[in-house]
Structure 1
Amino acid sequence: MTYELRIENLTVRTADDTVLVSDVSLVCGPSNPICLIGETGSGKSLVMHAIMGSLPDSLSCDGKILHDGTDILPLSPQQRRELWGRKFALLPQEPWLSLDPTMRVGAQVAELYTDLRGIGRKQANQMAADELASVGLAGSFDAYPFELSGGMAQRVSIAMAHAAQSPIMLADEPTKGLDRALCDVVADLLRGEVAAGRTLMVITHDLELAEKVGGTVGVMRKGRLLELGTADQVLRNPSHDYSRELVAALPANWPVRTPARGEKSDEIVVAADSIGKSFGRNTLFSDVDVAIAKGQVTIILGPSGSGKSTLGNILLKLIKPDAGHVSWGDDLPAMKYQKIYQDPPSAFIAGQTLGRAFADLRKLHNIDGARINAMLDQLGLDRGLLARRPDAISGGELQRFAIARSLLLDPVMLFADEATSRLDPVSQKRVIDLLCAQVRDRGLALLLVTHDPDLAEHIADHIIRISDGDHSSLAAKAA
């Protein structure tokens, strides 16, 4: 068998016949991986879930999905599930939602070897430990998912997808939340899957990853496949206007400019004196002093799992430091210190529509409806999405709703934890421009966690660098 995957005229629509993906056709095989890129909400992940057979019940598909010449789209849900792990492996976009919170991560990886491949428990545990070590998680075999950072949870999912050794791997945003070094590790792992003869499809906003995976690149927007060609052709000499806009919006390609600073201010909104934090024997940092002023952009830059989110959570008083003290300026209420979470599903009620969430926000805080609509427009969000639940829109769209909700509360400080990690380059630039405008016009103190040094150098007033090799101190310096 060649394990070729051929999609012909795939269309995905809602129960009320709204078309979300229109007439997509493409082919990938063992020697021809394919990466789908494009803006959040363009339908990339819907294509992947149509292949996997994991679309929500409210959506339906037309067209053909041919696996070695056999159309799998007419198969029953039970028949589709029987292919999971054995023929198709899915690396999900939201790893925390796919990991069992009651099981240690090593056991979850080992389970694939015992259940899918019939390997004994002792050998399966050793193989699972090796898989975790291959993605930089040698010490996390006995950890629970809640003890991991977003990037670490992503790496566990990568290890599980690799362990399945299914002939077809579907990877949805495999480098989301990872630093550049780990992105390179993931790229090497994915190229290894291709070299081993597996068919690979990748959904990604990471254009560097798409270039390293090679093969074919498709550009999607508003449910349509705009451009399809070799990675070199699409990423270096795109033919469609939107493809050119996508490449130009990468932070490395932004024009050199002075950061969007606000009026210089000595008004400190949060100060930390000699703080330190450890988890077990792992010391993240100690004896750290941080002062964040109004109208300034402060960026925490460092590798995955190094303590960036922990530092921000301490400054927001969401967790306590083991040593030192954190103080807020002017005794402001906690509501004025807002956080945008790295994984937006954790910030919304799963069974509640977004419209209900924003209606409650409007009523509780007396926010003008016109102001809500203007904020959604600024973030490029279709108001029709308000009728959906959080699980019915893309991760990038949900992240932008989380950003809108936080900004509508007029915070004096906003802690944005990887706020743009799941956004395509065009959406990322729109969000960063909006946040920098809030810094400039309203004196917002913005604390942003990122793995992207290009982004940091373009917008930061100050950069706090955390080294994965030495957590004993943090160095803050002017950008």
Structure 2
Amino acid sequence: MHANPSTTGLLAVDDLAIHVGGRALLQGISFQLHAGEALSLVGESGAGKSLLAQAIMGNLPPALRASGAITIDGITTRAEDAASRRALWGRKLALLPQEPTVALNPLQRVAPQLAEVYTLLHGQPQGEAATRAQQELARAGLGQATAHYPWQLSGGMAQRAVAAITLAGGAPVLMVDEPTKGLDNHWRDRTVEVFRSVLQAGGCLLAITHDMAVAQALGGQVIVLRHGQAVEQGAIGKVAAQPQHPFTRQLMDADPARWLPFAAPQTGEPVVQARGISKTYGAQQLFAPMDLQIRSGERVAVQGPSGTGKSTLGNVLLGLLPPDTGSVARSQGLRPHTFQKLYQDPVGSFAPHISLAQSLRDAARLHRCDWKAVQRRLEQLRVPESLLERKPEQVSGGELQRIALARVLVAQPALLFADEPTSRLDPITQQEAMHILLSATQETGAALMLVTHDEHLAAAVATRRIGLKAEPQAGH
């Protein structure tokens, strides 16, 4: 380890590569970030964006090998010398990970997890740290959720909680992995404002995102990754306005804002009917008594701010939760397992200790689906079969979401509740996945309920929308 001149800035990466065995997952990555500068990594799912952040942290899975040099605040280490960078965690270097449920301790309430940062990193007394934690969570719109456990939060709320904990350390080098997925426009913009305040305070930011609007709002530089290599690199304004590489142009053209509306489906008889259903969580009513009917073939978008009960509504219709009032009736004669859910957090929907191949084969056997049909679906979704040898934690969030989509379609659902199903996918893969999802539901006449914060995606896909609103006093 050695000190470099201050000209290297806060974070510099020189010729970083990551290999598994003899195969390169990422190679030839170099950049520098000075105080006040941002860099966004964009590109296809599985291109190595999250691996790059893990390599900088010194937190790569054991089977992977890094090479190159990494400089943090003037201190240079070899990329493979992970232990030397771990000593910087929290104080100099922080990572907001892609999956909030993995980052949070499920056995501890949210507020104490944040208070620990103020106690351990800043030496604040416990009472003072607890008060500060309450204040920061309130600023993140989580004032009513400070006593909740992580599993009691919606996906967007958990995302904001992890962001508050990550930022509390005050590390000058901040890396964020898909920080705005699952957030409505209000909280997406607020999150971008928070990151910009880190830059104004003299920090630097490395942002991994599939949202080009977020990259443009952050400003600074951009690197476009494909197949583990940088195919384009430069100022975000110039790259977005005049992309030079064909893949970058593909990314820009695949933005949902540019999608043409999908053809309207044929609808049939009601699949599910709900009368007077409502659900309350603690002191907050998530949704007031409502009547709802979903017909076969329908495509319904469910929208509303984080924490307003979108996922809960789906769980009630699927029979995973009972309504507090009212009743839910399914169509007669449906096969078992024909009400299916595609989860917002794909990690939580797979058994962690068995291979992805085993999970898919178990689903195929349960639903009497030919394995060759599963293979064809994986091929459509551009999932290499070699990935299935791995466990869920060993693939990217985007790759896991595509595998989850392939698995849920094995069941040939009559009603598919898809909870932010493309939020972890790059625009190109997102467009392909939605085509596959809509084609599959059209073939079988399945009804689709789609939770999304993306107005453009909802406009292109849905035949009607259900809007849920936040109660002002709920703090969400």
With normalisation by structure 1, the TM-score equals 0.95
Q: Is the 8 A contact 2:39 2:206 kept in 1?
A: yes
Moved more, 216-225 or 63-72: 63-72
1:9 aligns with 2:15: yes
Query: Partner residue of 1:365?
Result: 367
Query: Partner residue of 2:265?
Result: 262
Query: Partner residue of 1:463?
Result: 465
Query: Partner residue of 1:377?
Result: 379
Shift of 1:74: 5.6
CA distance in 1, matches of 2:83, 2:67: 19
Query: Partner residue of 1:313?
Result: 315
**1:386-405 pair list within 5 angstroms:** 386-405=388-407
Q: Deviations over 1:378-410 (max 9, x none)?
A: 112111111111111100110110110010111
| Cα distance change, pair 63–76 in 1 and its aligned pair in 2 (3 A) | closer
Q: Is the 8 A contact 1:262 1:441 kept in 2?
A: no
1:241 aligns with 2:241: no
CA distance in 1, matches of 2:323, 2:263: 31
Unpaired runs of at least 5, structure 1: 473-479
Q: Is the 8 A contact 1:11 1:20 kept in 2?
A: yes
CA distance in 1, matches of 2:408, 2:200: 45
Q: Is the 8 A contact 2:287 2:308 kept in 1?
A: no
Q: Is the 8 A contact 2:67 2:79 kept in 1?
A: no
CA distance in 1, matches of 2:307, 2:322: 18
Shift of 1:365: 3.2
Query: Partner residue of 2:255?
Result: 250
CA distance in 2, matches of 1:90, 1:26: 18
Whichever residue aligns with residue 114 of structure 1, its letter is: T
SS in 2 for 1:227: strand
Q: Is the 8 A contact 1:218 1:229 kept in 2?
A: yes
1:101 aligns with 2:103: no
CA distance in 2, matches of 1:388, 1:71: 33
Which one of 81, 87, 96 corresponds to residue 86 of structure 2? 81
Q: Deviations over 1:164-209 (max 9, x none)?
A: 1011111111101101111000000000000000111110111111
Query: Partner residue of 2:296?
Result: 294
* Identity rate, percent: 41
Shift of 1:331: 4.0
SS in 2 for 1:130: helix
Q: Deviations over 1:239-258 (max 9, x none)?
A: 11111111111111113x3x
Q: Is the 8 A contact 1:262 1:439 kept in 2?
A: no
Query: Partner residue of 1:475?
Result: none
Q: Is the 8 A contact 2:36 2:202 kept in 1?
A: yes
Query: Partner residue of 2:206?
Result: 201
CA distance in 1, matches of 2:222, 2:117: 30
SS in 2 for 1:284: strand
**1:402-417 pair list within 5 angstroms:** 402-417=404-419
CA distance in 2, matches of 1:375, 1:245: 23
Q: Deviations over 1:258-297 (max 9, x none)?
A: x3332232x1111110001001110011221111111110
Query: Partner residue of 2:192?
Result: 187
Q: Is the 8 A contact 1:105 1:143 kept in 2?
A: yes
With normalisation by structure 2, the TM-score equals 0.95
1:163 aligns with 2:168: yes
CA distance in 1, matches of 2:257, 2:214: 15
Q: Is the 8 A contact 1:44 1:203 kept in 2?
A: yes
Shift of 1:73: 3.0
Unpaired runs of at least 5, structure 2: 1-5
| Cα distance change, pair 37–75 in 1 and its aligned pair in 2 (3 A) | closer
SS in 1 for 2:146: coil
SS in 2 for 1:65: strand
SS in 2 for 1:330: coil
Which one of 121, 143, 151 corresponds to residue 146 of structure 1? 151
CA distance in 1, matches of 2:413, 2:161: 35
Which one of 281, 284, 289 corresponds to residue 282 of structure 1? 284
Whichever residue aligns with residue 359 of structure 2, its letter is: A
Which one of 32, 39, 45 corresponds to residue 37 of structure 2? 32
Shift of 1:471: 11
CA distance in 1, matches of 2:216, 2:352: 35
1:137 aligns with 2:139: no
SS in 1 for 2:434: helix
Moved more, 193-202 or 2-11: 2-11
CA distance in 2, matches of 1:350, 1:118: 36
Q: Is the 8 A contact 1:276 1:285 kept in 2?
A: yes
CA distance in 2, matches of 1:97, 1:68: 28
Q: Is the 8 A contact 1:178 1:304 kept in 2?
A: yes
| Cα distance change, pair 77–237 in 1 and its aligned pair in 2 (3 A) | closer
Whichever residue aligns with residue 142 of structure 2, its letter is: L
Q: Deviations over 1:337-384 (max 9, x none)?
A: 111111001111112111122222333333222211110011121111
Query: Partner residue of 2:3?
Result: none
Moved more, 138-147 or 192-201: 138-147
Shift of 1:77: 4.5
SS in 2 for 1:139: helix
CA RMSD of aligned residues (A): 1.6
Q: Deviations over 1:417-471 (max 9, x none)?
A: 1111111111111111111212322211111111111111111111001112479
Q: Deviations over 1:65-101 (max 9, x none)?
A: 1224432236755433221101111101011111111
1:424 aligns with 2:426: yes
Q: Is the 8 A contact 2:340 2:413 kept in 1?
A: yes
CA distance in 2, matches of 1:308, 1:428: 21
Q: Is the 8 A contact 1:260 1:440 kept in 2?
A: no
CA distance in 1, matches of 2:86, 2:440: 47
Which one of 62, 66, 70 corresponds to residue 65 of structure 1? 70
Whichever residue aligns with residue 193 of structure 1, its letter is: V
| Cα distance change, pair 335–471 in 1 and its aligned pair in 2 (3 A) | farther
CA distance in 1, matches of 2:367, 2:146: 45
CA distance in 2, matches of 1:463, 1:365: 31
CA distance in 2, matches of 1:281, 1:4: 45
Q: Deviations over 1:215-236 (max 9, x none)?
A: 0011111111111111101112
CA distance in 1, matches of 2:332, 2:24: 51
Whichever residue aligns with residue 11 of structure 1, its letter is: A
Query: Partner residue of 1:23?
Result: 28
SS in 2 for 1:273: strand
Shift of 1:111: 0.5
